Amino acid sequence: MNTTALINEVVSLPVEDRTLVVESLLRSLNQPESEIDDKWAKIAAKRLEELQSGKVKAIDGKQVFNKIWERLEK
């Protein structure tokens, strides 16, 4: 099977299967490093807990990007 045929076959799959193919391909290009992944997972869990407990307040993404653009325009 050539690359074009393979792509056409994958594109015809249901979205869940296409997602699995994409994730698998990306993982093959960027091998996970469990130590780093574990650290990121701990940071993410801590940040989620801070949001859920009200310790920190979420800021709308649009608002954040507007502030960035304002700083860049100066």
**How far is the C-alpha of 40 from the C-alpha of 46, rounded, in Å?**
10
pLDDT digits (tens, 9 = 90+) for 9-56: 999 999 999 999 999 999 899 887 889 989 999 999 999 999 999 999
pTM over cut 0.85: no
H helix runs in the chain, sequence order: 3-11, 15-29, 34-53, 61-73
How many angstroms separate the Cα of 33 from the Cα of each of 16, 25, 41, 74?
A: 25, 16, 12, 40
- The CA distance from 58 to 21, in Å, is 33
Q: Which helix (H) or strand (E) holds 57?
A: none
